[in-house]
Structure 1
Amino acid sequence: MPLGNAGPWQLLLILVIVLLIFGAARLPALAKSLGQSARVFRGEMKQMKDDGKTESKSADDEAGAGSTSAEPRTGSPESKP
């Protein structure tokens, strides 16, 4: 049963059950905590999206610089005795 199809009586019943379980005094604290959690989640998602853009941009820069360079890479390969 999706919540979108719930009528006013079903929503009222859900509200009464929530009030009985948590109590009226704790509801503002729960709402505040839920809002803070949502804010942190959105911030983390934005940070991950920004990190992904900077990583792909730096990878593109490195790939572009490596493909345009005519000089071979100098570095000692790892050798196993």
Structure 2
Amino acid sequence: MRRLPRKGMMEARDVQEKKGGAMPRIGPTELIIILVIILVIFGAGKLPEIGGAIGKGIRSFRRSVSSDEDEDKAKDEKTGQKTGETKT
């Protein structure tokens, strides 16, 4: 059974929302507004170029992260350790 807060007390959720600690929720309306602003700023002709550049950047980032993990695994195999273990 849930207890009611005393008068003058706030729940943790309410305190977080007042302090700005809660993440803002982005709904479909906000996404449409953002897309319209991007369309107005860059124009319809530039959107495919911008999308391609963003996609290339994301792919490059993923490759660098996965290559770092592969290098870590190779080093661990050389030293005989499993990933995440420390040598004592």
TM band (smaller chain)? 0.5 to 0.7
| Structure 1 unaligned blocks of 5 or more | 62-81
Query: How do residues 1-80 of structure 1 correspond to structure 2 at under 5 angstroms?
Result: 2=24, 5-60=25-80
* Greater fraction helix: 1
Q: Which runs of 5+ in 2 are unaligned?
A: 1-22, 82-88
Higher Rg of the two aligned structures: 1
| Structure 1 position 21, deviation (Å) | 1.1
CA distance in 1, matches of 2:34, 2:76: 46
Matched-pair identity in %: 37
TM-score by length of 2: 0.58
TM-score by length of 1: 0.63
Runs of 4+ in 1 over 6 A off after TM superposition: none
**Count, aligned residues:** 59
Between 1 and 2, higher relative CO (CA 8 Å, sep ≥ 6) is seen in 1
Amino acid at match of 2:50: L
